[in-house]
Amino acid sequence: MSLFWLSVGFGLVTASVLTIAAIGLSLQFGITNYVNFAYGDFMALGAFFTYVLNNQLLHLNIWIALTLGSLAMGVFAVTVNHFLLAPFARRFPTTHYVLIVTFGLSLIMLNVIYSIWGADVRFYAVPITVAMHIGPLLLTKNQLIVMGIAAALMLGVHTMLRTTRLGKSMRAMSDNTALAMTSGIDTRLITTITWFLSGAMAGLAGTVLAIDEGNLTPASGELFLFVIFAAVILGGIGSIYGAMAGAILIGLATEISAAFINPAYKLDVAFVALIVALLIRPSGLIARPGTT
Amino acid sequence: MTYYVFTLVFFLFDYFILAMGLNIQYGAAGILNFAYIGFVAIGAYFTGVASLPANTLGQQYILGLGLPFPLNTLIGGLAAMLLSVAVALITLRRLRTDYLAIVLISMSLVLYDFCNNFVSMFNGADGLYNVPEPFAKTLGLSVNSFIPFFACVAGVVALIMWFVMSRVTRAPLGRTFRAVRDDHVVAAALGKDVFRMQLKSMMIGSFYAGIGGGLLIQFGGSFNPTAWLPGETFVVFAVLIVGGAGNNIGMFVGALLVETLLIHLPAFLPEIPGHPGLIEYFDLAVVGIVLMLMLWFRPQGMVPESVRRAASFGASERPDGEADDLELGTPAAPARVAFESGDPQ
């Protein structure tokens, strides 16, 4: 039984990381209507930005480095969109080309990260914290902070989408870009802001993933990307709330299953969940109009 | 020196085959198969286990049939084809292009993860090795003479497969593929079963992937999971885009430019001291950049898809009474830059 509760704890942490990543991916997908296959490498690059601030240049506290690293990643995402993705999306009417471009961007970014930082496994300077009992769960302070960040982000995104002008414009664009534009919404500005948020969340997710796993390699984002996809499709692609629900389900499912079957197969559990979701409810738990 | 040259020649032919397979899926039928390298891997593994004897010291694998050359590779091709049927049945009907791409790329990652961990199937992370070299024993070939020999074998296989593929592309089947790619609603309205067409193109393409993979494992004698990370799919896409999607000859040009010149030639450069692997990383990044420049400045590729003019409805415009199949949606503009595949937006 203790093993079960231990894996529930891990599951909640994984779900938190996954939620941050899935919201970032979904937000951008909802606005631009194409998937960013380089998202995993956005995460890795964000994690390395934090690494530089934390270990190499300024030796900042990990949480300050995380904030700055995520913001830097947001700026990076805006730059990439402005000079690379947006021109392609404008020029070619169908999504094929821009999908191939993001796929290519992923290859470029991965190999640039490899060229700069090498293939070595790296570690953050994180203060070691003792695990404590919270109810039946056993969690460290760092894991609690990660969960707190995820919860705050979910609440923040929800408030933003429901109450602010920016959030309403985003929802309008996500439903119908042309209509939003004719209603006087500055779609380019909204797209830029969305890319900033998406990039910042990718950086944040990449860093907390590395904190959670205890190490950092250039390829860690790439494998995790698939788990994000599983969560996002399970939840209903493009739907922010679906992404949150899918992330929590997949996070818990992968970690709890690791208590019963060989942990090496926990990715396959996520994949099976994805396939079952596709067979039973291809539009996802919370469907967004026009997705099938 | 001949060793190097023939290695390059082999990879040229092998990627020609791989690119033709992807071309029938993406270039002809418009399926964005980001899991392509997974099918190549399945072909390679099944060729491996079909040609290895039942028991080998230190390796675990299924089957172990000990079959000779053309048969084992055929098994690899058929295995990849079977996998594609399973994948297509689950995904093709349900998903629009970009979700399909997501599921496919996820599938290739999971397949990778699974083969890495499930040791008793294909020997796990170590992969298969000591795969028999075809004809090496019967013809008494040494390590040095095997490489030119097998490069020629690959050339013959590539030639046969090119011939078959060029027939398929010109046949009514190929035309229907293009119709589905250009506008699947119109194709469906004219009575074409869109799902069956996509399934067929997936099957043909995956068979090519499997054969290409089978040649790959027999050439090197070994195959392990690091050889087919998802990034490898991108290389095949680069071959396809640089060559010109929709054109079989373009695949050869693409294989020559991307695979031979960009991927394999720099591998012979000396390592930069103190930076192991730097050239390789840099090289792959360059492939990505070349592909983006190509997409921007010449999206139709080096050898663009030929403009196929349809026989018009009006009988007067037909050159002779020949009843040509109605060809759909081929625009008259030579630079066809967009595949209309029915995205709602």
Chain A: residue whose CA lies nearest to B342: A94
Residue A289 resides in a domain: no
Which range of residues forms the domain containing residue A56?
2-280
As beta bridge partners, residue A134 has A137
Q: What is the pLDDT of residue B334?
A: 39
B76: Cβ contacts below 8 Å, ≥ 6 apart: B42, B43, B44, B45, B46, B47, B48, B50, B210, B211, B213, B214, B217
Q: How many CB pairs under 8 A join A and B?
A: 136
Question: Is residue A120 scored above 80 in pLDDT?
Answer: yes
Q: Which of A79-83, A134-138, B270-274, B300-304 has the lowest mean pLDDT?
A: B270-274
Which residues does chain A have within 8 Å of residue B292's beta carbon, measured at their own beta carbons?
A: 84, 101, 104-105
Q: Model confidence at B308, in pLDDT bands (50, 70, 90)?
A: low
**Interface pTM, i.e. ipTM:** 0.81
Question: Is residue B335 scored above 70 in pLDDT?
Answer: no
Average pLDDT along chain A: 86
Tell me the two tokens of residue B152.
Answer: 């020629």
Chain A: residue whose CA lies nearest to B340: A94
Contact call for B105 and A37, based on CB within 8 A: yes
Which one of A176, A226, A292 would you mutate to disrupt binding with B, by most B Cβ within 10 Å of its Cβ?
A: A226
Residue A84 resides in a domain: yes
Question: Is residue A32 scored above 90 in pLDDT?
Answer: no
* Closest C-alpha to B304, from B225, B241, B219, B233: B241
Q: What is the pLDDT of residue A289?
A: 55
Question: Is residue B198 scored above 70 in pLDDT?
Answer: yes
Chain A: residue whose CA lies nearest to B291: A104
pLDDT: which is higher, B276 or A277: A277
B278 touches chain A (CB under 8 A): yes
Question: Is residue A197 scored above 70 in pLDDT?
Answer: yes
| All structural domains of chain B with their residue ranges | 2-229
B296 touches chain A (CB under 8 A): yes
Q: What is the pLDDT of residue B98?
A: 73
Contact call for A271 and B106, based on CB within 8 A: yes
3-class DSSP assignment, residue A122: strand
The model's pLDDT over A152-193, given as tens digits with 9 standing for 90+, comes to: 999 999 999 989 999 999 888 888 888 988 988 888 899 999
Angle between helical axes of B194-220 and B143-170 (0-180°, round to 10) = 170
The model's pLDDT over B122-140, given as tens digits with 9 standing for 90+, comes to: 877 777 877 777 777 777 7
Contact call for A103 and B339, based on CB within 8 A: no
Question: Is residue B337 scored above 60 in pLDDT?
Answer: no
Tell me the two tokens of residue B77.
Answer: 């091709």
Pairing state between β A137-139 and A132-134:
antiparallel
Q: What is the pLDDT of residue B315?
A: 45
Residue A177 resides in a domain: yes
Q: What is the pLDDT of residue A212?
A: 85
Contact call for A107 and B287, based on CB within 8 A: yes
User: Would you list the DSSP string of A157-194?
Assistant: HHHHHHHSHHHHHHHHHHH-HHHHHHTT--HHHHHHHH
Q: Which of A130-144, B17-31, B323-337 has the lowest mean pLDDT?
A: B323-337
CB A211 within 8 A of CB A13: no
B254: Cβ contacts below 8 Å, ≥ 6 apart: B19, B238, B239, B240, B241, B242, B243, B244, B301, B302
Contact call for B282 and A88, based on CB within 8 A: no
Q: Which of A235-239, B53-57, B307-311 has the lowest mean pLDDT?
A: B307-311
**Widest distance between CA atoms in chain A:** 58
CA-CA distance, B150 to A26, in Å (whole number)? 48
pLDDT: which is higher, A281 or B344: A281
Q: Average the pLDDT over B265-270 and give the result.
A: 74
B91 touches chain A (CB under 8 A): yes
Which residues does chain A have within 8 Å of residue B341's beta carbon, measured at their own beta carbons?
A: 94, 96
Q: Within a 10 A sphere around the Cβ of B84, how many other Cβ atoms?
A: 27
- Alpha helix segments (H runs only) across A35-94: 39-51, 62-80, 86-91
User: Would you list the DSSP string of B43-97?
Assistant: HHHHHHHHHS-S--TT--BS------HHHHHHHHHHHHHHHHHHHHHHHTTT--H
Chain B: residue whose CA lies nearest to A236: B99
CB A110 within 8 A of CB B231: yes
CA-CA distance, B19 to B133, in Å (whole number)? 24
Contact call for A96 and B30, based on CB within 8 A: yes
Q: What is the pLDDT of residue A127?
A: 77
Average pLDDT along chain B: 79
B138 touches chain A (CB under 8 A): no
Of these ranges, A131-135, B31-35, B268-272, the one predicted with the greatest mean pLDDT is B31-35
User: Would you list the DSSP string of B161-222?
Assistant: HHHHHHHHHHSHHHHHHHHHHH-HHHHHHTT--HHHHHHHHHHHHHHHHHHHHHHHHHHHS-
Domains contained in chain A, number: 1
Which residues does chain B have within 8 Å of residue A105's beta carbon, measured at their own beta carbons?
A: 288, 292
CA distance A205 to chain B (A): 19
CATH code of residue A31: 1.10.3470
Q: Average the pLDDT over A213-242 and give the result.
A: 84
Query: What is the model's pTM?
Result: 0.84
Which one of A95, A262, A278 would you mutate to disrupt binding with B, by most B Cβ within 10 Å of its Cβ?
A: A95
